């Protein structure tokens, strides 16, 4: 760790990071096999069909040990389908974290429901189970749980609350495909899970999404809502395991109840199949690399790993959007902006904060999207659940208490050491940064 004794790069010292990172950050990993799979779809004119998509669904279901998987054009659509399948409708509420990508929550608005945002835990950054129950009312239909930045959320506590109040749990696994919660795969614990397979996520199909469940009713409702061609109206599809059996849904077969078309592009399915085949071994490598990075930083003042304890049986899957926790009180109050600027000068661009807290966004206070003559967020609501500044203190503190860290895809020790050195060097020289000018 000798490099950490040098002068900070921001004051003209040598950069901690000097080596060519090579392919350590390259993602997704695309090989000839992905290319051939995509070309095969094009050459066969199979872009809009479903046979490859159904193979992909079956492989996802097998990998996760789930009964049903249903593919979508993107993760946002899968979440919308999951919400409707869980019975979310006009005048209802969902409970969701505010610290997440918007698609975990916003689809509820187009179903005529509203969102009651819950706070997060300061170390996991996932929804705080203790901030859920008091938000439940007779209109609450679902709790959306996000395994945020790959950290598995407190599923045992959340499932117990949901069971007690007879409401559904939707796991948003867009950050955590293949991660474990106390030995069980994320996405297999709630009543239904939905996730993105967008090109930036850890499990990739291109643009795409997936819904998984063991609940036949949820599965059929999701089909009925946005997968019209699978509802069994056409005889050549009627033997399909995805066909609707529920007579309440069957009578509308042939038209999507939501007026949505949620089908996945088969180039995505074909690439997704190849990506899934190599995913378990690739995330094993990511685990090794990211754990190496954080082990090197163990005990560094001011920064803390965002990962579960090693003996917990929980893991970080593919470490999507890898984050670090900032603890300025250990650095004499050094603002995160100065810390990040100094790390950036060492050779890796770090941004303070993660997703902007949703509950403070003006769209969730004012926007009249559908011409109701009042804000959409409360258009059908039985009560005004809009939340202003100060309402979710932990979530609101995250822009000053978390930052992005390098997302290594390969375990190259000499390179990872340099990146760890950059963070350690800045933390150990924090007192020199007090008078640093930042814009
Ligand atoms: C990316 C993401 C989604 C949405 O998925 P898309 O495929 O981009 O529509 C949903 N939830 C979370 C937490 C995400 O990060």
Q: pLDDT of 291-312, one tens digit each?
A: 999 999 999 999 999 999 999 9
Choice between 240 and 17, residue whose per-residue pLDDT is larger: 17
User: Is the confidence at residue 112, as pLDDT, over 80?
Assistant: yes
Residues 241-246: what's their mean pLDDT?
74
- Ligand 1 atom nearest 208 alpha carbon: 7
What is the rounded distance in angstroms from the CA atom of residue 430 to the CA atom of residue 103? 37
Give the tens place of pLDDT for each residue, 372-431: 999 999 999 999 999 999 999 999 999 999 999 999 999 999 999 999 999 999 999 999
What is the rounded distance in angstroms from the CA atom of residue 241 to the CA atom of residue 165? 32
Q: Which residues contact 227 (CB under 8 A, 6 or more apart)?
A: 70, 242, 256, 262, 263
Residues 79-105: what's their mean pLDDT?
98
Instruction: Specify the pLDDT at position 254.
Output: 87
Burial class (CB in 10 A: 0-12, 13-18, 19+), 327: middle
Give the tens place of pLDDT for each residue, 95-104: 999 999 999 9
- Ligand 1 atom nearest 200 alpha carbon: 1
Q: Identify which of 382, 358, 379 has the alpha carbon closest to the alpha carbon of residue 370.
A: 379
Instruction: Specify the pLDDT at position 239.
Output: 53
Ligand 1: distance of its center to the CA of 242 in Å?
Answer: 24
User: Is the confidence at residue 328, as pLDDT, over 80?
Assistant: yes
Instruction: Specify the pLDDT at position 234.
Output: 53
Among 104, 126, 202, which residue has the most ligand 1 atoms within 8 Å of its CB, making it the best to mutate? 104
Average of per-residue pLDDT values in the chain: 95
Ligand 1: distance of its center to the CA of 174 in Å?
Answer: 6
Give the tens place of pLDDT for each residue, 220-230: 999 999 999 88
Instruction: Specify the pLDDT at position 230.
Output: 86
Ligand 1: distance of its center to the CA of 407 in Å?
Answer: 18
pLDDT above 70 coverage of the chain, percent: 97
Ligand 1: distance of its center to the CA of 245 in Å?
Answer: 30
- Ligand 1 atom nearest 321 alpha carbon: 15
Among 78, 96, 100, 101, which residue has the most ligand 1 atoms within 8 Å of its CB, making it the best to mutate? 101
In the structure, what pLDDT confidence band is assigned to residue 235 with cuts at 50, 70 and 90?
very low
Residues 25-43: what's their mean pLDDT?
98
The CATH number that domain 32-274 falls under is: 3.40.640.10
Instruction: Specify the pLDDT at position 2.
Output: 54
Give yes or no for a contact between 176 and 316, defined as CB atoms under 8 angstroms apart. Answer: yes
In the structure, what pLDDT confidence band is assigned to residue 437 with cuts at 50, 70 and 90?
confident
User: Three-state SS for 26?
Assistant: coil
Instruction: Specify the pLDDT at position 240.
Output: 59
Among 196, 204, 318, which residue has the most ligand 1 atoms within 8 Å of its CB, making it the best to mutate? 196
- Ligand 1 atom nearest 198 alpha carbon: 7
Instruction: Specify the pLDDT at position 242.
Output: 58
DSSP E strands in 110-188: the ranges are 114-118, 140-146, 168-172, 180-181, 184-185
DSSP 152: P
Q: Identify which of 168, 176, 252 has the alpha carbon closest to the alpha carbon of residue 215.
A: 168
- Ligand 1 atom nearest 201 alpha carbon: 1
In the structure, what pLDDT confidence band is assigned to residue 147 with cuts at 50, 70 and 90?
very high
User: Is the confidence at residue 237, as pLDDT, over 70?
Assistant: no
| Pair type for strands 209-213 and 192-196 | antiparallel
Whole-prediction pTM = 0.97
Give the tens place of pLDDT for each residue, 332-377: 999 999 999 999 999 999 999 999 999 999 999 999 999 999 999 9
Ligand 1: distance of its center to the CA of 23 in Å?
Answer: 25
Pocket of ligand 1 (CB under 6 A): 74-76, 79, 100-101, 103-104, 146, 172, 174-175, 196, 198, 209
Instruction: Specify the pLDDT at position 362.
Output: 98
Among 73, 74, 76, 204, which residue has the most ligand 1 atoms within 8 Å of its CB, making it the best to mutate? 76
Ligand 1: distance of its center to the CA of 418 in Å?
Answer: 31
Among 175, 198, 202, 323, which residue has the most ligand 1 atoms within 8 Å of its CB, making it the best to mutate? 198
Ligand 1: distance of its center to the CA of 348 in Å?
Answer: 25
Q: What is the CB-side half-sphere exposure of residue 212 using CA atoms within 13 A?
A: 27
Residue owning tokens 């990075």? 293
User: Three-state SS for 105?
Assistant: coil
Q: What is the CB-side half-sphere exposure of residue 258 using CA atoms within 13 A?
A: 27
What is the rounded distance in angstroms from the CA atom of residue 87 to the CA atom of residue 32? 43
């Amino acid at each position: 760790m000798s490099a950490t004794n040098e002068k900070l790069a921001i004051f003209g010292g040598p950069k901690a990071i000097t080596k060519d990172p090579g392919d350590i950050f390259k993602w997704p990993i695309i090989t000839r096999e992905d290319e051939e799979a995509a070309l095969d779809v094009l050459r066969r004119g199979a872009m809009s069909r479903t046979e490859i998509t159904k193979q992909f669904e079956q492989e996802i279901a097998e990998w996760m040990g789930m009964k049903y998987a249903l593919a979508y054009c993107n993760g946002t659509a899968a979440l919308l389908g999951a919400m409707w399948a869980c019975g979310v409708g006009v005048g209802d509420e969902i409970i969701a974290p505010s610290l997440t990508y918007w698609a975990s929550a916003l689809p509820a608005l187009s179903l005529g429901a509203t969102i009651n945002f819950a706070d997060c835990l300061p170390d996991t950054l996932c929804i705080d189970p203790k901030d859920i129950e008091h938000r439940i009312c007779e209109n609450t239909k679902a709790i959306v749980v996000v395994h945020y930045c790959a950290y598995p959320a407190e599923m045992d506590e959340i499932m117990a609350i949901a069971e007690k109040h007879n409401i559904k749990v939707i796991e948003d696994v867009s950050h955590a495909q293949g991660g474990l919660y106390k030995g069980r795969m994320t996405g297999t614990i709630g009543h239904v899970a939905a996730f993105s397979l967008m090109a930036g996520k850890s499990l990739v199909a291109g643009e795409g999404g997936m819904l998984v469940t063991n609940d036949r009713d949820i599965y059929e409702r999701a089909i009925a809502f946005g997968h019209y061609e699978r509802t069994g109206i056409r005889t050549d599809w009627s033997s399909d395991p995805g066909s609707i059996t529920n007579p309440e849904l069957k009578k509308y077969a042939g038209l999507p109840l939501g007026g949505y078309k949620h089908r996945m592009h088969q180039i995505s399915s074909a690439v997704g199949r190849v990506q899934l085949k190599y995913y378990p071994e690739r995330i094993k490598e990511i685990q090794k690399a990211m754990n190496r990075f954080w082990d090197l930083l163990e005990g560094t003042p001011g920064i803390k790993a965002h990962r579960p304890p090693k003996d917990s049986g929980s893991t970080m899957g593919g470490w999507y959007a890898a984050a670090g926790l900032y603890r300025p009180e250990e650095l004499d109050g050094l603002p995160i902006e100065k810390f990040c600027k100094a790390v950036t000068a060492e050779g890796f661009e770090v941004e303070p904060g993660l997703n902007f807290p949703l509950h403070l966004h003006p769209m969730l206070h004012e926007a009249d999207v559908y011409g109701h003559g009042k804000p959409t967020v409360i258009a059908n609501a039985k009560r005004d659940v809009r939340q202003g500044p100060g309402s979710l203190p932990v979530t609101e503190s995250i822009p000053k208490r978390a930052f992005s860290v390098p997302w290594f895809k390969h375990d190259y020790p000499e390179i990872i050491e340099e990146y760890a050195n950059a963070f350690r060097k800045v933390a150990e020289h924090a007192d020199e940064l007090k008078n640093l000018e930042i814009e």
